[in-house]
Chain A
Amino acid sequence: MSAAANLTRHVVAKVGDIPENGSKLVKVKGRPIALFHVDGEYFAISNVCPHEGGSLCHGKLVGLIRSKEPGVYERSRPFEMLQCPWHGWEFDIRTGQSYCDPDSIKARSYAVTVKDGAELAEGPFVAETFPVSVEGQYVLIEMK
């Protein structure tokens, strides 16, 4: 484990469970976590929107839209921004930071890794209720 000793890795999903540009809601230690899959990468942020508590796993993944001047729309980072389904606040799925106020309003994000089942068989990790077999790959998140 590369992280600090007090962090534990939790197996939360099997690769393939989360469709491309889609999401999955998981629970770790009772906390709801929204998992996302974009172009072979996986991301995890708290499912609770820091604004009013909207369920972020139900939000849409969209591109980052910026503009240098009125009438010009520049789209980058396709599907890497999450829009809360309630009020549309945008969060960077890589950091959880809100677009409009990145320093003070953010959704908690968690480090994600993908491991082979065979590797996981050697531990250490916490699978809680999630069954792991040596076949396939798994998504793990780090949490205290």
Chain B
Amino acid sequence: MGHIAATGLIDCDIHPAVPGMKALLPYFDAHWQEVIDARGVDGLDLAYYPPNAPISARPDWRVPGRKPGSTLADMQSQALDAFGISHGVLNCLYGGPAMYSADLSAAICRATNAWMAAEWLDKDDRLRASIVIPIQNVELAVDEIERWAPDRRFVQILVLGAHEALLGQRHHWPIFKAAEKHGLPIAIHAGSAMRHAPTANGWPSTLYEEHCSFTLTFQSQLLSLIAEGVFTKFPALRVVLLESGIAWLPSFFWRGTKMWRGMRKEIPWVDASPAAIVRDRVRFSLQTWDLPQDPTQLDQLLEQIEADDIFLFSTDYPHWRFDGDDPTRGLPASLLAKALRETPLATYPRLKEAV
């Protein structure tokens, strides 16, 4: 299995699929059960990963009659056991956070978190999870964080790449305060609640453009967090970018630092270069990377990024990112040395408690 023959892999991005609203129903109160039933609310998978689209699951991981990644048994045999994963962080991409009604969103997020705890965390102690939150209402979002934070198996907070507003803006700060207090990194996953077009010039026509433009969304959010001073205000907070790619990092560093040199008076609380802040406080999952065909160019890229301790191993299970049984294929051993285990443990204080 190549590099991953090493034991103790920590997979920082695994996606358990909600089979359907029926599976979540036991985790709603009576009012919301009735609402879900009466309205027929269902099928809230995010538009980026339509269950039947090729990208949404490796062909050999598809099992007729069930949604890819929707059973623990599949996840165990296809990923946890197959790759020798000692711990995996569940990032559930079901649509609760995307609802327009904050109350409905809070109810679905709460049910999703409860479902993850009962159906996954309770049944396999290799698993950890991210708390999903109704970010459109900060009070409700903080309530949801406080509800699950005492359960140490929840190791971070998950938000979509794009929602109502740029993440760094001050009205979001109670979320970061709670995250910092509980030692929970904030993970931003590729995806959108579709409040805004993913490009600065409006809506693209194709799914292809949408997937390519994820990197723009990530850069906007990261810049917002830096410029608004989130990393200054919350010195212990860490941010994890999931499926952001990394090839854009050098230009982000260069332009961010250049502009900061000339315009930092507008944001005087940013007293280190954006590049230094990112290297210190932000971590990146391996899947999916934009890899150059020539491996020497990857070496150059990593030299330009100037950090070998900011990458987190991930499989992105069950999404179709690689074939075969080596999710680290193509990545240099020097990089993987830390990404497979050391950096995940340094990123997630709660994970460290367990090992």
Kindly state the separation between the CA atoms of A15 and B273 in the bound complex, as whole angstroms: 40
Cross-chain contact of A98 among B228, B229, B261 (Cβ < 8 A): B261
Complex CA gap A62/B265 in Å reads 10
Digitize B255-277: 1 where CB-to-A-CB distance is under 8 Å, 0 elsewhere.
Answer: 00010111111001101010000
How distant is the Cα of A68 from the Cα of B271 in the complex, in angstroms? 9
Does A118 reach chain B (CB closer than 8 Å)? no
Q: How many residues of B contact A (CB 8 A)?
A: 17
Closest 7 CB pairs of A and B: A70-B229, A88-B262, A67-B268, A67-B269, A87-B262, A100-B261, A65-B268
A80 within 8 Å of B by Cβ? no
Q: List 19 A-B contacts (CB under 8 A).
A: A62-B265, A65-B265, A65-B268, A66-B268, A71-B170, A71-B269, A72-B269, A73-B268, A74-B268, A84-B262, A87-B261, A88-B261, A88-B262, A89-B261, A89-B262, A90-B264, A98-B261, A100-B264, A100-B273
Write out the residue numbers on chain A whose beta carbons fall within 8 Å of the beta carbon of B232.
Answer: 67, 69-70
B-side residues, CB < 8 A to A, are 170, 228-230, 232-233, 258, 260-265, 268-269, 271, 273
A-B contact count (CB 8 A): 48
| Size of the chain A interface, CB-CB below 8 angstroms | 21
B261 lies within 8 A of A68 (CB): no
Closest CB in chain B relative to A11 CB, distance in Å: 35
- Most A CB within 10 A of own CB, among B229, B230, B258, B265: B265
On whether the beta carbons of B269 and A99 are closer than 8 Å, the reply is no
| Chain A residue at minimum C-beta to C-beta distance from B266 | A65
Interface centre among B170, B261, B273 (most CB of A within 10 A): B261
Cβ contact within 8 Å between B262 and A70: no
Q: Evaluate contact between B269 and A100: CB separation under 8 angstroms.
A: no
Q: With the chains together, A61 CA to B344 CA distance in Å?
A: 47
